[in-house]
Each structure stands twice: as C-alpha cells, then as structure tokens.
C-alpha cells in the first residue's frame, strides 16, 4: 500500500466487516494498510484507520517536538489551533504532562487579562478605546484594583476550564478506550486558551465592547457576540475531533462535547452571581461612561 496522504479512499466491499471489530460492518478500506474498518476506526481527516494512526502517527504537537526551538514550538502550537480536525491526530502521541507548561503560558495571561475590563472598580474602559479613572483614585489604588480584577479573572478562568474539563474527560473515558497519550487531556491543555478568549466573559468580547461607541447599535452588539463565539467554536471543534482519536464513536463524540458546553452555560451565570459583591457597581460605570462622552464631545 502507498503511504501518500492523497491516496483515494475506497468503500469496503458489501458484507465486509471491520478488521478490529468483526461484529461491525466495514465502512471503508484503509488506503495505507488495506484493512477494512468501521466508522469508529476510520479517521477521515487524516485518511487512515486507527491502527495505522498508532503505527505511523503524524508529527507530534510542536510544543512537544524536541527538534524545534522555543518560539517555533510555541507559535507552531498556536497555529495548529486553527486547523483542529487535521491536527487532532497529533494528540495520539507524546506525554500529556508536557502540555501543562504550555497551558500555563497561554491560559494564565488570557484569564488575567479577561478580568481587567469587566472587574475593575476604578477604571472605565471605553467607549471607543478610552481608558479613564472613575473618581480620583491614587496610583496605588489603581494598581491594587487592577491586580484584584486580574485575580478574579484567574479564578473565573480556572472555574470555566474546570467545568469544561471534568465532564469531557469523564465522558470520553466512559465512551472511548484508554490510551497512554490521553489525547483528550492534551486537547484541554493545548486548546484551553480558546475557551478563555470566547464567550460572555471572554477576552475577545471585552476588547470588542471596549472599542464600541457608548450606545452601539443592535448590529454592532450582534457582531460583537458573534465574534466572541468564534473561539468557542474552535475549542468545540478541537474537542470533538480529539474525542474521535480516543476511540469515541462519531455520535458519542458530539455528546461528550455538547454536555460540557451545556454545563458551562448553566454554571457560568451562577459563578458570576457568587462573585457579584466583588464586581464594580453598574451605576458608577454608567455615570463614568456618560462623563467621558460629555468631555470628549
């Protein structure tokens, strides 16, 4: 069999069964080894069966590649996030603990920054990218306020990652098959930063709202909401593709991802309500915004 990645994929003959699961009907013939494989064993994105994937895997996650230098490893791993289906197979090799440092380098700063805009008491961000103090705080007060907001962002980000990771890892373990590389753990470490960028409390929405006029039109508000959903779609896509690498079936792979997202949707407002006493007063923020608008125009 040819090892070219562009080999044509042929369907399995009528009545053929999967080489690994004889009780299941075969879907395709693997172009690399010629084996018949069922839908659970076939990885269409990389055009190989699961046995070939383990036997001859794709290159490792750039961060875990010892042949690359630090910057290339870091930015190469970030780049892979924009092709989640094609790069999910990379999580079938390597040791998952290598991703912990990458997660700290990406998730920690994003979580801290995402807390500054919504959680500061003494600074008003916006409209149109303006930053101005609320009242007459001292420099020390401003520094402590920003640090507290960043700390809240870290706590909230950790909660979001925990709420997503726990059910995802548990469900993929229940519906998939164990593997030493633990691809589902790797995807949370290497793609978790996307979760902190998106959503109602993500960094993207905060930055976009900061740049909007004081009273944006409904069209601008809708565009901001859509833009904030793009990172979430990226992490959902990556998690679904990686669940398949953990031998979770096609339908089950959607379930093990949708359930954590539903849990996050339900829990996120509750967490916000718990920390509401620590959040800035909406009336004070509104008055500051009106003052900025009056001074500028």
Give phi and psi for 17, each to the nearest 5: -120, 160
Say which DSSP state 63 is in. G
* Per-residue pLDDT tens digits for 89-116: 888 888 899 999 999 999 999 999 999 9
Report the SS3 class of residue 10: strand
CB–CB of 296/130 below 8 Å? yes
Burial pattern 47-60, b for ≥16 Cβ within 10 A else e, equals: bbbbbbbeeebbeb
pLDDT at position 280 is 67
Range ranked top by mean pLDDT from 18-22, 36-40, 133-137, 229-233: 229-233
Q: Model confidence at 222, in pLDDT bands (50, 70, 90)?
A: confident
User: What is the average pLDDT score of the chain?
Assistant: 85
CB–CB of 203/113 below 8 Å? yes
Going from N- to C-terminal start, the domains of the chain cover 1-56, 62-296
pLDDT at position 292 is 43
- In 3-state terms the chain splits into helix, strand, coil percentages (rounded to 5) of 60, 5, 30
Q: Model confidence at 249, in pLDDT bands (50, 70, 90)?
A: confident
Say which DSSP state 16 is in. -
* Mean pLDDT for the stretch of residues 214-220: 79
pLDDT at position 295 is 43
Report d(CA 101, CA 105) in Å as an integer. Answer: 6
The tokens 């399995």 sit on which residue?
12
Report the SS3 class of residue 25: strand
pLDDT score of 145 more than 50: yes
* Per-residue pLDDT tens digits for 37-95: 988 788 877 788 888 877 776 788 999 998 888 899 999 999 999 999 888 888 888 88
The tokens of 37 are what? 């494989």
Q: Model confidence at 239, in pLDDT bands (50, 70, 90)?
A: very high
Pairwise pLDDT comparison (270 vs 282), residue with the higher score: 270
- In 3D space, the residue among 46, 137, 117, 129 whose CA is nearest the CA of residue 83 turns out to be 46
CB–CB of 26/38 below 8 Å? yes
Percent of the chain at pLDDT above 90? 41
């Amino acid at each position: 069999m040819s090892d070219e990645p562009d080999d044509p994929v042929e369907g399995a003959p009528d009545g053929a069964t999967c080489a690994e699961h004889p009780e299941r009907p075969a879907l395709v013939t693997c172009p690399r080894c010629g084996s018949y494989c069922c839908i659970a064993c076939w990885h269409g994105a990389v055009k190989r069966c699961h046995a070939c994937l383990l036997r001859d895997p794709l290159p490792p996650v750039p961060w875990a590649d010892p042949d690359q230098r630090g910057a290339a490893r870091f930015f190469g791993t970030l780049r892979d996030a924009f092709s989640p289906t094609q790069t999910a197979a990379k999580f079938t090799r390597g040791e998952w603990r290598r991703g912990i440092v990458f997660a700290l380098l990406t998730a920690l700063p994003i979580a801290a920054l995402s807390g500054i805009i919504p959680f500061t008491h003494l600074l008003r961000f916006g409209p149109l990218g303006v930053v101005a103090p609320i009242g007459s705080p001292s420099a020390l007060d401003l520094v402590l306020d920003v640090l507290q907001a960043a700390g809240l962002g870290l706590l909230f980000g950790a909660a979001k990652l925990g709420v997503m990771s726990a059910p995802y890892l548990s469900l993929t373990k229940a519906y998939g098959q164990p593997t030493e590389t633990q691809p589902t753990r790797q995807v949370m470490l290497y793609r978790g930063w996307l979760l902190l960028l998106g959503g109602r409390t993500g960094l993207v929405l905060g930055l976009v709202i900061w740049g909007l006029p004081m009273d944006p039109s409904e069209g601008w508000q809708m565009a901001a909401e859509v833009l904030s959903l793009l990172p979430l779609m990226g992490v959902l896509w990556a998690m679904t593709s990686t669940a398949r690498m953990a031998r979770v079936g096609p339908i089950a792979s959607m379930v093990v991802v949708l359930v954590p997202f539903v849990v996050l949707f339900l829990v996120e407002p509750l967490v916000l309500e718990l920390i509401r006493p620590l959040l800035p007063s909406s009336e004070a923020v509104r008055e500051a915004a009106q003052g900025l608008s009056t001074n500028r125009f």
